[in-house]
Structure 1
């Protein structure tokens, strides 16, 4: 991780990244407790780590990395994302949007607000995504 990414990640944790990562972690634990939610729990755990330290990494569709479709990027992934959206995605996205609005008030917070907006989109549709280093 570069020094700039490290500094941005430290500022991110102080400016709202920690509690949103905790929100993802809570969603992952709730999904893991239920047998039915296990497929979503793995994605939520990965995104919780990404939400805690987003700078120096990015989220991409898994089929863009491998070049072929899999369960998460195919029709079952679509159904899984719709279920996720109804169960947990909307409130995680709302948390990211609210944090982005608060951060966008200041000039220093604008890059962090932009990162929260990207995570809000990911909160709505996380299945089939992979976190890769930049």
Structure 2
């Protein structure tokens, strides 16, 4: 089912929005400061073209050692680069996904595609510090983080 959804998504316009991500990646690759954005934009372009069966998680959710905000993409530099992205390509992508989501949700068959578009709209503003992973990995990472947080609330060590 994922494969069929991805093929339909790609043929009906997923490739078109992925081109905006690729354009942003190419422009930001020209500067040293834009390298984190280039990497994030390339991953998001791949997700934009083939969204079914994959999800986006923050790199802190994938960190199995409990380190938080120790890399440049989650610290101040990551924040600044994300703000630059949101002011340049982020709002364009947000509007494109929003428009695509509304169009898809006009039909009953298009609702799953509309939901994917709305998910991608939320990600389009803040891509740096996120990784595209298979859906199973994202769920596992979230479950492990939830267990760790629950243990902390109970006063036990993880």
Q: TM-score, normalised by structure 2?
A: 0.77
State the distance in 1 between where 2:75 and 2:34 align.
18
Q: 1:10 corresponds to which residue?
A: 7
* Residues 1:113 and 2:110 are matched in the alignment: no
2:87 is paired with a residue whose SS is helix
Aligned to 1:47: 44
Query: Separation in 2 of the partners of 1:109 and 1:6?
Result: 16
Could you say which residue in structure 2 is the equivalent of 1:103?
A: 104
TM-score (norm 1): 0.90
Q: Highest Rg: 1 or 2?
A: 2
**1: distance between equivalents of 2:31 and 2:80?**
18
Q: Which residue of 1 aligns with 2:67?
A: 68
Q: Give the distance between the partners of 1:122 and 1:53, measured in 2 at CA.
A: 15
Question: Is 1:127–2:110 an aligned residue pair?
Answer: no
Q: CA deviation at 1:131?
A: 0.8
What residue is the counterpart of 1:91 in the other structure? 92
After TM superposition, give the deviation of residue 25 of structure 1 in Å: 1.1
Matched, 1:28 2:25: yes
Q: CA deviation at 1:35?
A: 4.2
State the secondary structure of the residue aligned to 1:50.
helix
- In structure 2, runs of 5+ residues without a counterpart are 136-158
Cα shift at 1:50: 1.1
Question: How far off its partner does 1:56 sit?
Answer: 1.3
Query: How far, CA to CA, are the matches of 1:68 and 1:107 in structure 2?
Result: 43
The equivalent residue for 2:16 is: 19
- Aligned-residue CA RMSD (Å): 1.3
Once residues 119 and 47 of structure 2 are traced to their aligned partners in structure 1, the CA distance between those partners, rounded to angstroms, is 12
Deviation string, structure 1 residues 72-126 (Cα, Å, up to 9, x no partner): 1223222221111112111111111111111111111111111011111111111
Stretch of structure 1 that moved more, 70-79 or 95-104: 70-79
| Runs of 4 or more consecutive aligned structure 1 residues displaced over 4 Å after TM superposition | none
SS at match of 1:33: coil
